[in-house]
Structure 1
């Protein structure tokens, strides 16, 4: 064979740490990579550097500016109280734990070490040591997680320093914390794919190599096929196909059967049975609702709280409510089919809102009322705001479920991705803006808080009407 650059030479050091045999397996892998990619190599490092570059540009320009503006425009006394009381550090710890847990869960759906299908069948399935064959992708995952975490941590701390708090040490501490978070998230992502605990991978020499060797061909193929299907569905705007592809198989409560009890009670029983069969979805919805309720209680009672806290509370509540409202999305997915129990399309959608609304009120009302009263707020005001928020979340969920097909502009190459992103993010934006404004205005309304709540309730009813209008439009669109 003629002389050529060695495509895999950059990963040899990482292979040594993984404990793999570096003899003939590495040389044969280099030959295979040369056949597949040529002398330029796989290009994985170049793609990673470009992704890090984009993160640095957007986070440095927009993220830093927005974060610094939030801190500068916030009440210094409120921020000082949050820092001294430990609430700020506690919130950061919860966010970090949530990111690591989400990364671990994501790994079971689509892991970081997923070569293309031809590479899996022709190279990974061969006699080479799997830890050597897959080491480059794992190395890039760890490098990307650490780099992006380092950048975001430094930018986050830089915004704090830019607002007049702290100094160079704050930036160094933020960068170190971001690096640790990024590496932990990357390890958790791979641990989710390997089916092991993240702490088992801390031993770089043996843990990572064992995890790579434990990846089965069937799982790698399944992840690769799922990634291809999901990517095509996203480009086509088919959200139903994405949900069906990434949904975890139902393995719990399979022996339970749905019992008839009238049309509307049967719908509610069906939703409860569905939640019982997907406990992770219930836990996710409950955790997001509890966290969002705590943030909402702080914003509802503290006039000095930054507006972004109210927006984050509304976003968390939106995703928590959505995790419990799978039935509404299933109604939209079945648009155009014959109703099986005699309920109209919109009536069935309304019936599927009963369980998530009840669960949301049962979780959010006591948390916001108790925490709000401890922070000096009036329990009836906080409880009333939660009820109005439930209406706004119902509206956002309906708008998300019945949004229909993406606009034609989404398939124009010049600005299609932007149009697709805007189309997908409209319900989330509505929930963040309307819910965040409601929470913020209640905190500043004073004696006019009743009028603010009534106005918010009226807006929620109008938006719910828009959601049912879209449901009707989607229903008629499937008729011949």
Structure 2
């Protein structure tokens, strides 16, 4: 309840009474009243308010009225504002959230649980159980969870969990209401969503382990509880990162368990920036223009500002330019390192360990592909400025080759490190290096395809845009999974056929570079 001051009502005039006849009494002569100075105030018009000023005296009682405190219900005021701004769509938001949870649950039941079972059933149960309970596997699991939480903190700087619409920020937040109450609805959406996704993920993994006879039914309860706790922690870290995106007095880790205080620390300008980022990313995704989203989310350069690009031959200058770019954006370097290390570990384990399931390579290819892409910012910048004459006099293929040199070298170092670890702790099959080479070529070709995909030439519908985005990643995952299955089966004849398909994808990527360049120059 909020207390606000409201003018008190004027006292009613006394009721008229009937005059009684009295005997006239002689009255002393009264002095003549002094003349009042003529008022300079303008006459009252029809546009003047009818409510009297609470500080002016009442003409009936000649007593000034005092403001009175009246209680207002903040929930009622917020409900009225929600109806005026959101209308009927705001009331249906809860139903839409329940429907999205229902669809997600069906997806986990129909697709998630069979995939998890396939991961654990395609290999020997005892050997796989020993490997999953090894210290290396536990350390990899902890590193994966830490990388996931770090990604949540990184995303909270640009788009947090509490992002109300712009009219709500402009019209409701300036009102003297409790900000935690005004923003509570959006936080509840994010909190319930994080809890539900974490619990559903833990339930799916635990059920897969139980149905594959690698653990007992108690594992389902344990994994569900752990997933729920991780979902809650990730959501609160997301909110904490959003609070830290704007300077404020209270930005400590104690906000993780003081959610109302964290909501009160959210500044209106920060909420406007996050709302604008949301609109920019949604518009860029629907129109197929990722360059706009990258430019909107770019942070000012604060590292390596004193470093300068040394002159040299064109190819070497382009390579050093990419190295300098990674030095100035340590976030991109660290995110690429984490994703590549995670994906490289899973892929190397799938190719070097006989007990590893073949589908493990499918799971590891996606983070490996994304990690390479985090290091290939120079390649995307070339695609953004395609068609312009090169200042260094290089051709488009030479420039693209220079831009993939640094990420390829870093990926080779990561994969080579994991191969060395696999050789140190066990046997190394002769087919593993060849298969990893094909995976590396496939990852390079996929990132070149993604950078030079151009703009969509079809009618922009969400499903078609998503499919258009997923073509490079889907190609990498599909062919990489075939390489893993054929390597595990020892079918080297078919593996040679798939290797030609891999090199055909690389040739397709090279043709995309040439085609997009010539189209822009024409």
State whether TM-score is above 0.5: yes
In the alignment, what sits opposite 2:513?
471
Alignment partner of 2:233 out of 177, 181, 184: 184
CA distance in 2, matches of 1:39, 1:473: 49
In the alignment, what sits opposite 1:330?
381
Conserved? CA contact 1:149–1:178, under 8 Å: yes
In the alignment, what sits opposite 1:351?
402
1:391 aligns with 2:445: no
TM-score (normalised: structure 1): 0.86
Alignment partner of 1:47 out of 96, 113, 126: 96
1:76 aligns with 2:135: no
In the alignment, what sits opposite 1:19?
none
For residues 163-183 of structure 1, give each alpha carbon's deviation from its aligned partner in whole angstroms, at most 9, with x where no partner exists: 234443222112111211111
Q: How many residues align?
A: 447
Alignment partner of 2:361 out of 307, 310, 313: 310
In the alignment, what sits opposite 1:293?
344
For residues 247-303 of structure 1, give each alpha carbon's deviation from its aligned partner in whole angstroms, at most 9, with x where no partner exists: 333222233332321211110111011101110111111122222222222212222
Conserved? CA contact 1:365–1:383, under 8 Å: no
SS of corresponding position for 1:125: coil
Change (3 A) 1:148 1:84: closer
Change (3 A) 1:236 1:139: same
Change (3 A) 1:102 1:132: same
Conserved? CA contact 1:361–1:387, under 8 Å: no
Conserved? CA contact 1:298–1:375, under 8 Å: no
1:400 aligns with 2:450: yes
Change (3 A) 1:24 1:265: same
Superposed displacement of residue 310, structure 1: 1.1
Higher relative contact order (CA 8 A, sep 6+): 1
Conserved? CA contact 1:391–1:457, under 8 Å: no
CA distance in 2, matches of 1:313, 1:152: 18
> What is the CA RMSD across the aligned residues, in angstroms?
2.5
In the alignment, what sits opposite 2:65?
none
In the alignment, what sits opposite 1:34?
83
Query: Whose helix fraction is larger, Structure 1's or Structure 2's?
Result: 1
In the alignment, what sits opposite 1:16?
none
CA distance in 1, matches of 2:174, 2:476: 47
Change (3 A) 1:351 1:457: farther
1:249 aligns with 2:294: no
Alignment partner of 1:201 out of 247, 255, 258: 255
Conserved? CA contact 1:64–1:155, under 8 Å: yes
SS of corresponding position for 1:258: coil
In the alignment, what sits opposite 1:368?
419
In the alignment, what sits opposite 2:482?
437
In the alignment, what sits opposite 1:420?
465
CA distance in 2, matches of 1:279, 1:257: 17
For residues 76-104 of structure 1, give each alpha carbon's deviation from its aligned partner in whole angstroms, at most 9, with x where no partner exists: 23322223425554444333222222111
CA distance in 1, matches of 2:178, 2:348: 54
Alignment of 1:104-123 (within 5 A): 104-123=153-172
Superposed displacement of residue 384, structure 1: 4.4
For residues 158-211 of structure 1, give each alpha carbon's deviation from its aligned partner in whole angstroms, at most 9, with x where no partner exists: 2222223444322211211121111111111111111187842342xxx21221
In the alignment, what sits opposite 1:220?
271
Conserved? CA contact 1:310–1:437, under 8 Å: no
In the alignment, what sits opposite 1:6?
none
Greater shift, 452-461 or 275-284, is seen at 452-461
Greater shift, 463-472 or 383-392, is seen at 383-392
Greater shift, 48-57 or 154-163, is seen at 154-163
In the alignment, what sits opposite 1:5?
none
CA distance in 2, matches of 1:385, 1:153: 32
Can you give the 5+ residue segments of structure 2 that lack an aligned partner in the other structure? 1-70, 245-249
Conserved? CA contact 1:72–1:163, under 8 Å: yes
Q: Which of these two proteins has the greater Rg computed from alpha carbons?
A: 2
SS of corresponding position for 1:478: helix
Change (3 A) 1:320 1:40: closer
1:259 aligns with 2:310: yes
In the alignment, what sits opposite 1:11?
none
Alignment partner of 1:211 out of 249, 262, 274: 262
Conserved? CA contact 2:343–2:368, under 8 Å: yes
Change (3 A) 1:166 1:387: closer
Change (3 A) 1:163 1:270: same
